[in-house]
Structure 1
Amino acid sequence: MPDLPTFPPDHLALFGQPDAPALAVRDKVYSFKELNLRIGRLAAWLATRGLSAGDRVATWLGKSEVACLMPLASVRAGLVHVPVNPLLKAAQVAHIIADSGAQLLVTNAARAATLDATSLPVSLSQFLADERAVQAILDDAASPILPPLPEDTDPDTLAAILYTSGSTGRPKGVVLSHANLALGADSVAQYLKLSSDDITLAVLPLSFDYGQNQLLSTWRAGGCVVPLDYLTARDVIKACAKHSITTLAAVPPLWVQLVEQDWPTDATRNMRRLTNSGGALTPSLVKMLRSIFGHKTDIFAMYGLTEAFRSTFLDPALIDDKPTSMGHAIPYAEIMVVTPEGIEAGPDQAGELVHAGPLVAKGYWQDNARTAERFKPAPAFSTYGGMAVWSGDTVRRDRDGLLYFVGRDDAMIKTSGNRVSPTEIEEAAVESGLVAEACALGRKDDRLGAVIVLFVRGDGNDDGLKVHLKATLPNFMQPAEVVWLDTFPKNANGKLDRTVLVQTI
C-alpha cells in the first residue's frame, strides 16, 4: 500500500508560489497570494450566512471567479459545495437543490428568474445570492478574511456533492471528502507531470469531477488555470493561442469537433498534453490529434468513475500502438478485474472493474439503497481492502497488465444469444472514415431478443458504411438499421446522451 502525501490542515490549500499566476479569468490574472486572500473573503462571507457546519451551498454559474473559488471557500467555511451544471434547466436544478438540501444558492439574475419559488426550501430572499454581489465582496479589500481550517480538521470531513449526469433516472449525488479531492488533485498532477509553468484551459463543466479537477490538479502543481465558457470549437482554439495553453482536457464529442477545425501554429506551439475521459478515444481520432499536434504533445487516455474520481490512465508513449487501452491504475488507486465468482480474473479474462483505495467516494447522498448496490466490500484479494466501487463495467487485462474496456453491463446488447458490446460496433463505424460519431443500441425483437440500431453522424454514405461493417464485424454484430443524424444529442457534461436516442427506437 503506497504512502499518502501529507497536506495542510485544510487539505485543499493552494501550493503555488505567492507571486505566480494562478487564475486568469475575464481578462484578469490573480496570483496565488491574491487567490488565497479572495478565497478567505468568500469563506468569510459564507460564514455570515447563518449556516451550520456541513450545510450545503450550491452554485449555478458559468466559469466565473466565484464558481472557481467556491470549492475551496466552502471547505474553509466548513460547508459542503454542490456545483450545478450551468446547462441544466430549472426542473433539474430544483431536484438537485431538494435532494442535497442546499440552504444557499449562488447564481445570477437570469438563472434565478427561471426558478419556481415553491420548489425552493426557503424564501427566495433568504435562499438566493446574486453572483454580482458576491463578486463585489471578493473585489473589496476591506472585506473580512476567514483563516484556514484548524490543525485538527478531519480529512474525511465532507467537502462536495457532485451530481452525475443522470443517464438513467434522476441525477444522484456522489459524496466526496476533503481527502478525496486533495488526493485526486495530487494523483492527477503526478501522472500528468504537471508543473508550475503549466497553463490549463478549463473548458469542461466545473460540476463534472473531471472538470473540477482541472482546477485542483493544476493548482496542486502550482500552475495557472484559464476557465472558458465556449460556444464553438473555434473559441477553444482561439483561447489556446491567446493564453499559450499547455494542457487541454476534453471528452470525445468535443475532440471530434476540434479535429475538424484548422489549428494555427500559435494554438499548438505550447501544448504539452491532451487528456481525454468520459469515453474512449478511437484509433482514428488519435491519428487526427497526432496530425494536428505531432509527437511533441502527449495524449493521455483516461477512464474514470465519479464514484471513485478517476481509475486508470494510459502511458502516452503507448497511445499510438495501443489506442484502445485504458492503461493501468492511477496513483492511490487499486484496480481489480473480478470474475462473477469473486476471484481475480486471469490475463485476457473478462471481469468487472472494481476500484479500491482512498479515492473511493463516501457513497450517494442520502440514498442507502443505491449506495449498497455500487459501494461494496473489496474482494478478499484486495491490497487496500475496505469499501470499493463495483463499476458495472466489464474489462479485461492483457498479459502486459494493460486494461481494455469490454462493455457496460446495462449497455450490453444481447442478440441471437450473444452479448455484444456497443463500443466495439461504434469503434468499427468510426474507423470506416465515413462516420464522425456513432452510438449502437439494442431494440427489443421477439425473434433475436434484440436487434442492433446504429446511430451515426457522417457523410451519409450508407452503402459504404455497411460494406465496411460487414468486412470488420461478425454477422451477429451487424446493425439491423443505420440512422444518420446531423447532430447527436449531448447531456449536460457534453457526453453523448444515449437516453434520448433510446426513446427513438
Structure 2
Amino acid sequence: MTDLDPIARPLDHLPARGASDAPALTDRAGSLSFRELDHAIGALAAWLAARAGSGDRVASWLPKTRVACILPLAAARAGLVHVPVNPALRRAQVAHVLADSGATLLISQPARLATLAPEDLPPVMGTAVEADCPMDGPGLTASMADPAALAAILYTSGSTGRPKGVMLSHANLWLGAISVAHYLRLTPADRVLAVLPLSFDYGQNQLLSTWAAGASVVPLDYLAARDVVKAVVRFDATTLAGVPPLWVQLLEADWPAGTAASLRRLTNSGGALTPRMVRALRDRFPRADLYPMYGLTEAFRSTYLDPALVDAHPDSIGRAIPFAAVAPVRADGRRAAPGEPGELVHAGPLVAQGYWQDAERTAHRFRPAPPWLGEGMAVWSGDTVVEDAMGLLRFVGRDDEMIKVAGNRVSPQEVEEAILSGGEALEAVAVGVRDDRLGQAIVAMVAGDAAREAGLRTRLRAELPSFLQPQQYRWFAELPRNANGKLDRAALRRLATE
C-alpha cells in the first residue's frame, strides 16, 4: 500500500515509485521492469518532443498496446498534453475529438488511419504509426513540470451535444493514482489485469495507480468474457476492475476450479451494482475484496465503499476517497441532512481544470465549493444522492438525460443526430431503459416510416461504435409534444418502458 502523500509531482515520476528490476508491465511479449519502463518513457518523450512544441496536444487512437500504455507518461515528460481517443470510436467521433482538441499529432495504426478522410484531420496535424514510436535509445530524463500544468484532455459525452474534453493536470492524475493505490491497498506483489479502455479516467488509472504502488499491470483487449478468464489464469492476476455489464458476462462465464478464488480484489465503477449483483459477485469470487465506487471524469473518483461494509450495505457508494471532499447539497447550498436527497458536490485537489475551450459549460458544472465543504472550485455533479446516519452515500439518480451503456456515458443528442443525418426518420429521441447486461440500452423513439428501419440500422452500424447503437426502435406517425411545442421527452421515456 502506497503512502498517502498529499504532495503532487510531475506525472512521469510515477515509475520511480517501483523497485527498479520489478515488473511494471506484463503482456504476451514478456515484461518491462520499472527501470525499462522509465527508459521507454524517456525514449518516446524525446521522439515526441522532436515532433511537437511545448503544450501541444498529442492524440493517440490505439488499442491497449505498450505504446498506448506508455504515452500518458511520455507526453507528460515531453511537456505535451495527451489526448487519448477511445479505440471504439469511428470516423465522425474521432474527427470531432481531433478538431476540438487542436491536436498537432495523431499516433495510431495504419488500418485505423485508413478509415479517416483528409478532411477529418486538422490542417496543422501530422500523423505517425505506432510502429515508428521508439521504446529504446537516447531519451529525456524525468521532467520538472509544474504539477498544476495541463497533462491530459479526456473526452466524455455531455448531456447535450458532442463529447467534451475534461482538462486534467499532473496533480489531478498523480493524486488520483496515490489515492486509489492507497484505499485499494495495492502492493508490489499485485498484478492488475487492465481491461478497461485507456481513454477513460477509470481505465487510465488502472495503469497509474498500479505503478504508484510499485505493482505490475497487465493490459488486455478482450472480445469475450472467456478471454478475461484465460488472462486471469495466464498472468495470475490478483486485481480486476470492471463495469456492471462486464460483471454480468463474467458471472455467466465458466471458471476453472480455483481460478475465481485466486482473485483478491474487484473494483466497480461506471454504473451502480445492484444488491443482487453484489451477492452474486461475493459468491463467485469468495476471496476477493469488492470495492463499489462512484466517479465522474470531472473529478476522477468521488467515493468508494470499504469491502467490510459491502454485505451490509450493498446499495451504497460509500464515502469520499482520500483527497476528496464530497457531500450531498441542498438547492439552498446547505448540506443535506441524513435521509434527505441532495446533489453530490465534489471539492478538493482531484477536481479537474474545466472543459477544454468551453467556458459556458465549465461555468455550469464547475462552481465555487460551499464554504463548509472546502475552498476553491467544486464539481456539481447533477446526480442526486442520499446520506445515511453512518455517513454512507446511496446513489438515487441522474438529473441530466445521459444514458449509461456498458460503462459508456452516451449523449442522447449524439445518437439523435446520427439517426436523423440519413433522412430515414423525421424526428428522433434517444432514451435509456434498464438492461441487465448493458446497464442501460438505447431505445430510439422515431417519427417516420418503420419500413426504413433496416436501412437505418445498416447505416448506423457503419457509422457508430457499438455502444451508440439503439437496441430497439419505436416508430410513430409523430412524436408527442408538450404545451410549448417541444418534444415531450418525459412522455417518451415513459412510453419506452411500456
TM-score between both structures, scaled by the size of structure 1: 0.80
* Residue 9 of structure 1: how far off its partner (Å): 4.8
C-alpha distance in 2, partners of 1:406/1:315?
Answer: 20
C-alpha distance in 1, partners of 2:223/2:280?
Answer: 22
Partners of 2:264 and 2:289 within 8 A in 1: yes
Alignment of 1:106-185 (within 5 A): 106-122=107-123, 127-134=126-133, 137-138=134-135, 140=136, 143-150=137-144, 153-166=145-158, 168-185=160-177
Alignment of 1:275-286 (within 5 A): 275-286=267-278
Alignment of 1:85-104 (within 5 A): 85-104=86-105
Match for residue 24 of structure 2 among 22, 25, 29: 22
C-alpha distance in 2, partners of 1:231/1:323?
Answer: 29
**Structure 2 gap ranges (5+):** 405-411, 413-430, 438-459, 476-495
Alignment of 1:239-388 (within 5 A): 239-294=231-286, 296-382=287-373, 384-388=374-378
C-alpha distance in 1, partners of 2:219/2:85?
Answer: 16
For the residue of structure 2 that corresponds to 1:52, the secondary structure is coil
For the residue of structure 1 that corresponds to 2:317, the secondary structure is strand
For the residue of structure 2 that corresponds to 1:13, the secondary structure is helix
Alignment of 1:327-476 (within 5 A): 327-382=318-373, 384-411=374-401, 456=435
Distance 1:185 1:501, change over 3 A: farther
Partner residue, 1:76: 77
Partners of 1:238 and 1:267 within 8 A in 2: no
Partners of 1:197 and 1:223 within 8 A in 2: yes
Match for residue 230 of structure 1 among 209, 222, 234: 222
Q: Deviations over 1:437-480 (max 9, x none)?
A: xxxx9xxxxxxxxxx9955469xxxxxxxxxxxxxxxxxxxxxx
Distance 1:502 1:205, change over 3 A: farther
C-alpha distance in 1, partners of 2:245/2:11?
Answer: 36
* Residue 71 of structure 1: how far off its partner (Å): 0.3
Aligned residues: 427
C-alpha distance in 2, partners of 1:342/1:186?
Answer: 31
Distance 1:10 1:170, change over 3 A: closer
Partners of 1:305 and 1:311 within 8 A in 2: yes
* Residue 268 of structure 1: how far off its partner (Å): 2.3
* Residue 110 of structure 1: how far off its partner (Å): 0.1
For the residue of structure 2 that corresponds to 1:5, the secondary structure is coil
C-alpha distance in 1, partners of 2:112/2:375?
Answer: 44
* Residue 144 of structure 1: how far off its partner (Å): 1.6
* Residue 165 of structure 1: how far off its partner (Å): 4.0
C-alpha distance in 2, partners of 1:389/1:224?
Answer: 32
Two-structure CA RMSD over aligned residues (Å): 2.8
Q: Which amino acid aligns with 1:333?
A: A
Distance 1:454 1:251, change over 3 A: closer
Q: Deviations over 1:210-257 (max 9, x none)?
A: 000000000000000000010000000000010000000000011111
Partners of 1:241 and 1:268 within 8 A in 2: no
* Residue 25 of structure 1: how far off its partner (Å): 2.5
Q: Deviations over 1:151-195 (max 9, x none)?
A: xx3110000000014564210000000000000000000100000
For the residue of structure 1 that corresponds to 2:298, the secondary structure is helix
Q: Which amino acid aligns with 2:382?
A: G
C-alpha distance in 2, partners of 1:277/1:283?
Answer: 15
* Residue 266 of structure 1: how far off its partner (Å): 4.7
C-alpha distance in 1, partners of 2:100/2:270?
Answer: 25
* Residue 52 of structure 1: how far off its partner (Å): 1.6
C-alpha distance in 1, partners of 2:221/2:32?
Answer: 19
* Residue 318 of structure 1: how far off its partner (Å): 1.1
C-alpha distance in 2, partners of 1:498/1:206?
Answer: 22
Q: Which amino acid aligns with 1:63?
A: K
C-alpha distance in 2, partners of 1:19/1:307?
Answer: 35
Q: Deviations over 1:335-373 (max 9, x none)?
A: 011101111111100000000000000000000011011
C-alpha distance in 2, partners of 1:404/1:120?
Answer: 44
For the residue of structure 1 that corresponds to 2:318, the secondary structure is strand
Partner residue, 1:60: 61
* Residue 53 of structure 1: how far off its partner (Å): 1.1
Q: Which amino acid aligns with 2:44?
A: L
For the residue of structure 1 that corresponds to 2:221, the secondary structure is coil
C-alpha distance in 1, partners of 2:240/2:32?
Answer: 20
User: Are positions 1:208 and 2:192 aligned together?
Assistant: no
